[in-house]
Chain A
Amino acid sequence: MVQTKLRSLAPKNDVISFLILAAILLVALPVLFDIFRLNLIGKYLTFAFVALGLVLSWGLGGILSLGQGIFFGLGGYAMAMFLKLEASSPENTQIQSTPGIPDFMDWNQLTELPWFWEPFHSFGFTVFAIFALPALFAYIIGAAMFKRRVGGVYFAIITQAIAAILTILIIGQQGFTGGVNGITDLRTLHGWDIRTDSAKYVLYFVNVVLLLITLVAAQYIRKSKLGRLLVAMRDSEDRVRFSGYDVSNFKIFIFCIAGIFSSIGGAMFTLQVGFMSPSLIGIVPSIEMVIFAAVGGNLSIFGAIYGALIVNWAKTILSESYPELWLFAMGALFIAVVLAFPKGLAGIYESHVQPWVDKKLKAIQKKKAEK
């Protein structure tokens, strides 16, 4: 009984894909690259959390959010606020007119810590906030929209507007948020210097393990009754509604999950890269996050991770050597994914590579049987 349940949760193909991915991320990449490149890959992988959330909400649930940067930012800023408070202890900030508050507040003539910064002295609260803030925010947005049956295009535009509002707010309130520079100059986590190479190695592995756990969670959701209901809803919302399900609650739930995933990614981004700024959470980055999921294939949780890796990798390489080509390439990628392969890399794999692999496997099995 347990075994059959496990098998339905984790079909053979998915287990193999999972093991291959884990081997690539945990063994192959750390062996192949030095810490500078590995740190970059870790940065790309933080976007994979967002792409994973988008596969659930957009691919499965049909809810396209153009504001995932909001949630990435919530997690990222929560972590950055904690690290910043640690970095601006009274001893470190003696030269300021008010020691003990972050440097940008001092520059903006603030004399005491704003109330909403206070709880971020505690690491426990910060971790709690990384999960609770996006969930709460997503719940408010989701409840307000889905209960009124706002969906599709309108939802996309409104989430985009919310991303715009948040960016304007962060940039405008420089004294509270660090403004357009964001929160920078982060140094230690509980006295552990996060800027050293050894810390970066550790953070990379923590990131990968978290990503793999998230992946398992996503797979669980995908295979559960909820996941099947989501697909049914995407294809025919009214039928599911008439079958007696409260469609909006499922949508809110999956939107919250996608938000939490993105927030974890944001927090890991702050830890590995050492800063958080509004340039990562506005409209443009939010739409780029959608393309990570789209390139990988918006129906495939594994595709999302490869999509985030490959697109970001290409971006780094192209914009290093041919900065003017990058936007052309990115634009062409958007158009190609929509027109030529709507199911992304995962779709190409399924229709071209997998049949070939299956055939080979069968041939091997046959040979064994003959012996």
Chain B
Amino acid sequence: MFADYTWAELGSIFAMQGFSGLILFSVLLLMALGLAIIFGQMGVINMAHGEFMILGAYITYLTSNLFSTYLPDLFGIYFFIAIIFAFIGTFLLGALVEWSLIRHLYKRPLDTLLATWGLSLILQQLYRTVFGPREVGVTLPDWMMGSFAVSEMIEVPVNGMIVMVITLFITVGVFLFLQKSRKGKQSRAVVQNRAMAGAVGIDTARVDRFTFALGCGIAGIAGATFTMIGSTGPTSGQLYIVDTFLVVVFGGAASLLGTIASAFSISQAQSIMEFFLSGSMAKVLTLLTVIVILMLRPQGLFSLKVRR
């Protein structure tokens, strides 16, 4: 299948596909970061994660409408404000969900799956009632559109670059937060040994709520970011959920580094195969490979050596 192309063309193809793979990588990583905290750290299966992303996207859509109607002068920067709104909105909803639902189910992980699936159905219908069944898209300010040409055959879209920068920023932020800040250390302590953490005076219930809400907030940021590259409908969230879980599981649930590595390998495989096969076959092959590797290495790419 390579015979039809010259070496220069092949090089460009790999560069282009590699680059679109990088964008896909950022998307997958953003989606998976929130889940890596909720599922990887807390062990809660949040099937409504996709719906939290969609909430972030809808908040961005509302913000962009708000700016274009009332503050057209500031439209160029609305996106950054929308991200903050999206974070706050999903964070608050996450805290509410943890308080009303999740905290009763920490000992029954499979049941969190059913309960959050129910939540996701309710949220989907809520979006449909409020925003209508059709997909909505946002208008991007001029400076976010277009692309610059690197060479004759290679073009880099600006919005893809922005997605990558945001992902980098959030990933580093989450990493620093969990490793260095007091709250992050507390949440890791609670995850590793709840009884002991409680004994040294950490309010475990509060830390749980904060950790869950933080994961949801990051999902909201992811959703806000995705408005740059696609439109949003009430059921878009379901499209993400399997990919996101596979990324987290493949990486090794408790390891942030693993999440990054698995998002990278999955996205590159998918994007390079996509050029030579149809999109759906590329996806099938990628997912199959992931599953086969998971069967050989059930604990994922990077597993922490913890005594249980």
**B278 / chain A contacts, CB cutoff of 8 Å:** 172
Q: Can you show 5 pairs from A to B with CB atoms below 8 A apart?
A: A148-B296, A165-B287, A284-B238, A324-B129, A327-B125
Bound Cα distance from A334 to B249, whole angstroms: 24
B111 contacts A by Cβ under 8 Å: yes
Say whether chain B's binding surface is mostly helix, strand, loop, or mixed: helix
How far, in Å, is A174 (CB) from chain B's closest CB? 10
How far, in Å, is A366 (CB) from chain B's closest CB? 42
**B111 / chain A contacts, CB cutoff of 8 Å:** 338, 342
Among B84-92, B116-124, B163-171, the stretch in contact with A: B116-124
**B128 / chain A contacts, CB cutoff of 8 Å:** 324, 327
For window 275-298 of B, CB contacts with A under 8 Å fall at 278, 280-281, 283-284, 287-288, 290-291, 294-296, 298
Q: Contact string, B80-110, partner A, CB cutoff 8 A, digits 1/0? A: 0000000000000000000001001100111
How far, in Å, is B298 (CB) from chain A's closest CB? 4
In the complex, are the beta carbons of A169 and B249 less than 8 A apart? no
**B124 / chain A contacts, CB cutoff of 8 Å:** 327
Q: Contact string, A272-314, partner B, CB cutoff 8 A, digits 1/0? A: 0000000000011001001100100000000000000000000
A335 contacts B by Cβ under 8 Å: yes
Q: Which of A172, A283, A331 contacts B122 (CB 8 A)?
A: A331
In the complex, are the beta carbons of A339 and B287 less than 8 A apart? no
Nearest 10 pairs of A and B residues by beta carbon: A334-B118, A172-B280, A331-B122, A331-B121, A327-B125, A331-B118, A338-B115, A335-B118, A150-B298, A144-B295
Bound Cα distance from A330 to B123, whole angstroms: 12
**For this complex, into which size category does the number of interface residues on chain B fall?**
35 or more
**B112 / chain A contacts, CB cutoff of 8 Å:** 338
**A210 / chain B contacts, CB cutoff of 8 Å:** none
Bound Cα distance from A148 to B300, whole angstroms: 13
In the complex, are the beta carbons of B114 and A153 less than 8 A apart? no
Q: Contact string, A143-168, partner B, CB cutoff 8 A, digits 1/0? A: 01100111011101110111011001
Q: Which of A152, A158, A284 contacts B110 (CB 8 A)?
A: A152
Known contacts being A172-B280, A328-B125, is A161 close to B287, with CB within 8 Å?
yes
A333 contacts B by Cβ under 8 Å: yes
Chain A minimum-CB-distance residue to B43:
A153
Known contacts being A153-B110, A156-B113, A328-B122, is A283 close to B238, with CB within 8 Å?
yes
Bound Cα distance from A66 to B114, whole angstroms: 10
A332 contacts B by Cβ under 8 Å: yes
Known contacts being A154-B249, A161-B242, A290-B114, is A148 close to B105, with CB within 8 Å?
no
**B241 / chain A contacts, CB cutoff of 8 Å:** 283
B79 contacts A by Cβ under 8 Å: no
How far, in Å, is B136 (CB) from chain A's closest CB? 18
Interface contacts beyond A148-B296, A164-B242, A331-B125: sample of 16 additional A-B pairs, CB < 8 Å, sorted by A? A148-B298, A154-B294, A157-B249, A158-B249, A160-B242, A161-B242, A164-B287, A165-B287, A169-B280, A172-B281, A283-B238, A287-B117, A324-B125, A330-B121, A331-B119, A339-B105
For window 252-308 of B, CB contacts with A under 8 Å fall at 278, 280-281, 283-284, 287-288, 290-291, 294-296, 298
Chain B interfacial positions (CB closer than 8 Å to A): 43, 45, 101, 104-105, 108-115, 117-125, 128-129, 238, 241-242, 245-246, 249, 278, 280-281, 283-284, 287-288, 290-291, 294-296, 298
**A335 / chain B contacts, CB cutoff of 8 Å:** 101, 115, 118-119
**For this complex, into which size category does the number of interface residues on chain A fall?**
35 or more
**A66 / chain B contacts, CB cutoff of 8 Å:** 113
In the complex, are the beta carbons of A153 and B45 less than 8 A apart? yes
How far, in Å, is A335 (CB) from chain B's closest CB? 4
A171 contacts B by Cβ under 8 Å: yes
A337 contacts B by Cβ under 8 Å: yes
Bound Cα distance from A111 to B80, whole angstroms: 56
How far, in Å, is B133 (CB) from chain A's closest CB? 10
A64 contacts B by Cβ under 8 Å: yes
Q: Which of B105, B117, B287, B296 contacts A334 (CB 8 A)?
A: B117
How far, in Å, is B188 (CB) from chain A's closest CB? 20
How far, in Å, is B220 (CB) from chain A's closest CB? 20
Chain B minimum-CB-distance residue to A325:
B125
In the complex, are the beta carbons of B291 and A334 less than 8 A apart? no
How far, in Å, is A179 (CB) from chain B's closest CB? 11
**B246 / chain A contacts, CB cutoff of 8 Å:** 157, 161
Chain A minimum-CB-distance residue to B39:
A153
**B122 / chain A contacts, CB cutoff of 8 Å:** 327-328, 331-332
Chain A minimum-CB-distance residue to B298:
A150
Chain B minimum-CB-distance residue to A163:
B242
How far, in Å, is A175 (CB) from chain B's closest CB? 12
In the complex, are the beta carbons of B117 and A149 less than 8 A apart? no
How far, in Å, is A81 (CB) from chain B's closest CB? 20
How far, in Å, is B45 (CB) from chain A's closest CB? 6
Chain A minimum-CB-distance residue to B235:
A284
In the complex, are the beta carbons of A334 and B121 less than 8 A apart? yes
Bound Cα distance from A337 to B111, whole angstroms: 9
Bound Cα distance from A153 to B105, whole angstroms: 14
